[in-house]
């Protein structure tokens, strides 16, 4: 594998790693409905603000979300709604796995 190809796969892995937490998956899905402030996400997730901010930082560093300061609040938005297509694919894999497991017990 050449360096350019390796770099492309490493960049893909970084994005997938950024999504590899239930709270971050929830945040991405919530942001698909519109901008949210940290305070809203904190309440929805049921975690402290520093934990939610860390999750948002990881998502921002991977290029999935962007932030905007409005007064004393910081609002986040989803930059790449196409990531939801990936979620649909993941759910198809989950369904396929469930169907295979059902076949084993029937």
Q: What is the pTM of this model?
A: 0.87
pLDDT of residue 11: 94
| DSSP structure string for 69-98 | EETTEEEEEES-TTHHHHHHHHHHHHHHHH
106 has a pLDDT exceeding 80: no
Q: How far is it, in rounded angstroms, from Cα 73 to Cα 79?
A: 19
- What the block records as the tokens of 31 is 């942001």
**28-79 pLDDT, tens digit each:** 999 999 999 999 999 999 999 999 999 999 999 999 999 999 999 999 999 9
pLDDT in tens, 10-26: 999 999 999 999 999 99
Kindly state the tokens that stand for 103: 């076949």
The yes-or-no verdict on residue 103 having pLDDT over 90 is no
């Amino acid at each position: 594998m050449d360096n350019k190809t390796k770099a492309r796969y490493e960049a893909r892995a970084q994005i997938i790693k950024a999504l590899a937490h239930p709270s971050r998956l929830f945040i991405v899905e919530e942001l698909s409905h519109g901008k949210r402030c940290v305070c809203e996400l904190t309440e929805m997730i049921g975690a402290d603000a520093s934990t939610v901010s860390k999750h948002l930082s990881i998502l921002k560093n991977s290029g999935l979300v962007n932030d905007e300061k409005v007064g004393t609040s910081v609002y986040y938005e989803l930059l790449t709604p196409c990531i939801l297509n990936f979620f649909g694919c993941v759910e198809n894999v989950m369904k396929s796995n469930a169907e295979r497991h059902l076949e084993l017990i029937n």
